[in-house]
Amino acid sequence: MLRLDNPVQYLPGVGPRRALELSGAGIATIEDLLLYLPFRYEDRSRFMPVAGLRPGIAATLQVRVLAKSLHRTRSGRPLLRVRFGDDSGTLDAIWFNQPYLDASFQIGAAVVLYGAPKPDPLAPKRLQMDAPQFEKLSPRDPQAGSIHVGRIVPIYQRIGSLSSNQIRSLMHRLLPQLPAALEDPIPSAVRRRQRLLARSEALGAVHFPPAGSDVAALNLGRDPARRRLAFEEFFLLQVALALKRRGRRTEPKGAELRMTPKVRARLRQVLPFRLTEAQKRVLREIKDDLVGAQPMNRLLQGDVGSGKTIVALLVMLIAAENGYQAALMVPTELLAEQHFRNLRRLLEPTPYPPVLLTGSMRKAERERARQALASGAARIAVGTHALIQQAVAFKHLALVVVDEQHRFGVVQRADLVRKGLRPDVLVMTATPIPRSLAMTVYGDLDVSLLDQMPAGRRPVRTVLKSERSREEIYRFVARELGRGRQAYVVYPLVEESDRVELKAATKMAEELARRFRGFKVGLVHGQLKPEQRSATMLEFFAGSVQLLVCTTVIEVGVDVSNATVMVIEHAARFGLSQLHQLRGRIGRGAEGGTCILMMEPKLGREARARLEVMRETLDGFRIAERDLELRGPGDFLGTRQSGLPELKVVDVIHQRDLLEQAKREAFAWVDSLPPEPAVWKTLPPMQAIRRRWAERLRLAEMG
Give me the least distance between CB of 380 and ligand ADP, in Å please. Answer: 16
* Distance, CA of 393 to CA of 419 (rounded, Å): 7
- Complex with ligand ADP: residue 295 or 305, whichever CB lies closer: 305
| Binding of residue 329 to ligand ADP (CB under 6 A) | no
Q: Taking the CA of residue 140 as centre, how many other CA atoms within 13 Å lie in the half-sphere pointing to its CB?
A: 0
Q: Which residue is nearest to ligand ADP (CB)?
A: 307
Q: Which of 270, 307, 648, 636 is nearest to 450 (CA)?
A: 307
Cβ atoms of 68 and 94 closer than 8 Å: no
- Which positions from 384 to 423 touch ligand ADP by CB under 6 A, shown as an x/- string? ----------------------------------------
Choose the binding region for Mg ion from 343-351, 550-558, 615-623, 654-662 (rule: CB under 5 A). Answer: 550-558
| Binding of residue 305 to ligand ADP (CB under 6 A) | yes
Instruction: Report 252-281 residues binding ligand ADP (CB under 6 A).
Output: 273-276, 279
Angle at 104 between CA 98 and CA 106, to 5 degrees: 130
| Binding of residue 431 to ligand ADP (CB under 6 A) | no
- Residue 276 interacting partner from Mg ion, ligand ADP, none (CB closer than 5 to 8 Å by kind): ligand ADP
244, containing H or E segment: helix 224-250
Q: Which of 164, 213, 306, 405 binds ligand ADP (CB under 6 A)?
A: 306
Give me the least distance between CB of 304 and Mg ion, in Å please. Answer: 7
Q: Which of 154, 204, 221, 307 binds ligand ADP (CB under 6 A)?
A: 307
- Using a 10 angstrom Cβ sphere, with 0-12 exposed, 13-18 middle and 19 or more buried, the burial of residue 348 is exposed
* Distance, CA of 670 to CA of 677 (rounded, Å): 11
* H helix runs in 558-674, sequence order: 576-583, 605-616, 620-637, 639-642, 656-671
Cβ atoms of 466 and 599 closer than 8 Å: yes
Q: For residue 575, give the 3-state DSSP assignment.
A: coil
Give me the least distance between CB of 537 and ligand ADP, in Å please. Answer: 15
Instruction: Report 542-601 residues binding ligand ADP (CB under 6 A).
Output: 557, 559, 561, 588
Question: Length of the chain in residues, anyone?
Answer: 703
Q: Which residue is nearest to Mg ion (CB)?
A: 557
Binding residues for ligand ADP, how many (CB under 6 A)?
19
Give me the least distance between CB of 316 and Mg ion, in Å please. Answer: 14
* Distance, CA of 46 to CA of 60 (rounded, Å): 8
Give me the least distance between CB of 96 and Mg ion, in Å please. Answer: 51
- Residue 224 interacting partner from Mg ion, ligand ADP, none (CB closer than 5 to 8 Å by kind): none
* Distance, CA of 78 to CA of 70 (rounded, Å): 7
- Complex with Mg ion: residue 557 or 685, whichever CB lies closer: 557
Q: Which of 215, 199, 87, 225 is nearest to 151 (CA)?
A: 215
Cβ atoms of 285 and 293 closer than 8 Å: no
Give me the least distance between CB of 621 and ligand ADP, in Å please. Answer: 14
Instruction: Report 449-478 residues binding ligand ADP (CB under 6 A).
Output: 454
Amino acid letter for position 354: P
Give me the least distance between CB of 582 and ligand ADP, in Å please. Answer: 12
- Which positions from 552 to 571 touch Mg ion by CB under 5 A, shown as an x/- string? -----x--------------
Q: Taking the CA of residue 462 as centre, how many other CA atoms within 13 Å lie in the half-sphere pointing to its CB?
A: 19
| Binding of residue 29 to ligand ADP (CB under 6 A) | no
Give me the least distance between CB of 311 and ligand ADP, in Å please. Answer: 8
Q: Which of 230, 430, 477, 586 binds ligand ADP (CB under 6 A)?
A: 430
**DSSP per-residue letters across 297-366:** EEEEEE-TTS-HHHHHHHHHHHHHHTT-EEEEE-SSHHHHHHHHHHHHHHTTTSS---EEE-TTS-HHHH
Give me the least distance between CB of 550 and Mg ion, in Å please. Answer: 17
Residues that bind ligand ADP (CB under 6 A): 273-276, 279, 302, 304-310, 430, 454, 557, 559, 561, 588
Residues that bind Mg ion (CB under 5 A): 557
